[in-house]
Amino acid sequence: MNTSKNPHELITELAALNKGIHEILQDSYFDSFALLKRGQVEKKIASGLFGNLKRIYLGEHLKRCQPLVEGREYVPLPADFLTSPDLKFPAGSMLFLTNNDVGTDLSRYMDFYNRNPDVLAVIWDWDSQHWIQMSAMLAMSCDFYIPASSENVFQLSHFNPCTIGPVFVGVHQWSRRFVVDNFDTLLAPRSDEPFGPHAFYGSYERRNRAVVTVGNTFPSVGFVTNDYKGRSDLDNLREWSAHKTHWIAPVLGGVPIRVYNALMAGGIPIVPSFYRALPEVALLGDVPLYYEVSDLISPREVNAQAVAKFDAAGESGLIQRIASALDRHHVDSRCEQILATLERFIAAIASGDRNFEAGYLGLKV
């Protein structure tokens, strides 16, 4: 095995980085900031404006979401809402945004947040596992912060004392109604070749090596552009549902949306073996197969096992996987889970209840 560094060098570097992180998190700034931030949130809640979360302004990234609770109303915002000269929300409004809704204009969003103390801002940070600078800034610039991965929750919680979750991402590309209305597409014949288009990110060399190596065997696994955003929802659903298996190469430790898209399409995700160590995997049940590093070089065997699993379950198994994904992995369910937890958190803050906790939503029994 050829490596650029020996194990001792790698361990030494890791220990130094870990020590540096903990030294940073012990800075007295975090004490004063937590005191200030918590005080701001308590003041908003004491105003009585946010005791009933019925009308929610959603970021464009969540535009297909539909409420699951009677009386809840979602108001989608345009992608460029921050640049509107008429940007104004009534006192007591709640904004529910993802990092993708504000990331392209982060400074403008931060200014908006600081100038609107009578608006409750909630950020669901879909990329909290690999863009730590932006995640920290978002956590500081909202009232309630929700990371989407277990990887950096401890570090990021220092930037907001009102952290919920993590709440793992879910399917947002298709509405639940759209999936049901196009169910015949999901029942069409499928290829045995794995589906594996991945966006290229130069910072993640190990992941890029994995994609290229598997692509040497399966050309259906490789790098693509984001042109899917210009295609219709139906064309994208057809593409996802044209394969029995889905090869997943994540950038780091989080479970990406493509895993949940694969489940929604009824396929069998093939995911890296380190996923077994993540809390997120508890939500995936017994559907995925796990590949080892050796499977990157010779991926046919693990893919054949995934195909056999798909075939053995038959059409009834396919329908069951899709139904489970609609119930458990769509953003409609995730959003309602977040809002219900947020309502309990607000009530706990208002009453001074110190017993409240909101970690790992969806994993509790």
**Are 193 and 302 found together in one domain?**
yes
**Are 163 and 236 found together in one domain?**
no
Rounded to 5 degrees, what angle do the CA atoms 286, 289, 290 make? 120
Q: What is the pTM of this model?
A: 0.94
Residue 322 has what DSSP assignment? H
Cα–Cα distance between 198 and 225 in angstroms, integer?
Answer: 8
How far apart, in Å, do the first and last CA atoms of the chain sit?
Answer: 44
**Are 110 and 221 found together in one domain?**
no
Contact 309, 289 (CB under 8 A): yes
Report if residue 81 sits inside a domain: yes
Which residues are CB-contacts of 243 (< 8 A; sequence separation ≥ 6)? 190, 191, 193, 194, 195, 220, 267
Hey, which bits of the chain come out as E strands? 55-58, 73-76, 94-98, 120-125, 144-147, 196-199, 221-224, 245-247, 268-272, 289-291
**Are 316 and 339 found together in one domain?**
no
Instruction: Name the token pair of 16.
Output: 């130094």
Give the pLDDT of residue 358.
84
Query: Going residue by residue through the chain (365 aa), what tens digit of pLDDT does each one get?
Result: 455 788 999 999 999 999 999 999 999 999 999 999 999 999 999 999 887 889 999 999 999 999 999 999 999 999 999 999 888 899 999 999 999 999 889 999 999 999 999 999 999 999 877 789 999 999 999 999 999 999 899 999 999 999 998 999 999 999 999 999 999 999 999 999 999 999 898 888 999 999 999 999 999 999 987 776 778 999 999 999 999 999 999 987 789 999 999 999 999 999 999 999 999 998 899 999 999 999 999 999 999 999 999 999 999 999 999 999 999 999 999 999 999 999 999 999 999 999 988 888 877 64
> Residue type for 66, please?
Q
Instruction: Name the token pair of 179.
Output: 């999936």
Give the pLDDT of residue 3.
58
**Are 27 and 150 found together in one domain?**
yes
Rounded to 5 degrees, what angle do the CA atoms 323, 270, 291 make? 150
Radius of gyration of the chain (CA): 22
Give the pLDDT of residue 315.
97
Residue corresponding to tokens 């700034």: 29
Alpha helix segments (H runs only) across 94-253: 99-102, 106-115, 132-140, 153-157, 176-181, 183-186, 205-215, 233-240
Instruction: Name the token pair of 255.
Output: 């479970």
> Residue type for 33, please?
F
Cα–Cα distance between 208 and 225 in angstroms, integer?
Answer: 14
Report if residue 204 sits inside a domain: yes
Report if residue 361 sits inside a domain: no
Residue 167 has what DSSP assignment? -
Instruction: Name the token pair of 66.
Output: 């539909």
Give the sign of the dihedral formed by CA 333, CA 281, CA 342, CA 159: negative
Domain containing 263: what range? 176-328
**Are 132 and 200 found together in one domain?**
no
Report in angstroms the alpha-carbon separations of 285 from 176, 260, 276, 288. 21, 12, 11, 8
Report if residue 363 sits inside a domain: no
* Cα-to-chain-centroid distance, residue 360: 13
Report if residue 364 sits inside a domain: no
Nearest alpha carbon to residue 180 among 232, 244, 233: 233
Report if residue 91 sits inside a domain: yes
**Are 84 and 95 found together in one domain?**
yes
- SS3 sequence of 271-309: EEHHHHHCHHHHHCCCCCEEECHHHHHCCHHHHHHHHHH
Nearest alpha carbon to residue 103 among 129, 126, 77, 76: 126
Report if residue 365 sits inside a domain: no
**Are 316 and 347 found together in one domain?**
no
Give the pLDDT of residue 344.
93
Give the pLDDT of residue 87.
86
CB atoms near residue 314 (< 10 Å): 10
How big, in percent rounded to 5, are the helix, strand and coil portions of the chain?
A: 50, 15, 40
Instruction: Name the token pair of 120.
Output: 């409750």
* Cα-to-chain-centroid distance, residue 194: 23
Backbone torsions φ then ψ of 132, nearest 5 degrees: -65, -35
How many domains in the chain? Answer: 2
**Are 123 and 266 found together in one domain?**
no
**Are 208 and 308 found together in one domain?**
yes
Rounded to 5 degrees, what angle do the CA atoms 104, 107, 111 make? 130
Report if residue 224 sits inside a domain: yes
Cα–Cα distance between 62 and 59 in angstroms, integer?
Answer: 6
**Are 241 and 104 found together in one domain?**
no
Which residues are CB-contacts of 290 (< 8 A; sequence separation ≥ 6)? 270, 271, 272, 273, 275, 276
CATH code for the domain of 321: 3.40.50
**Are 106 and 191 found together in one domain?**
no
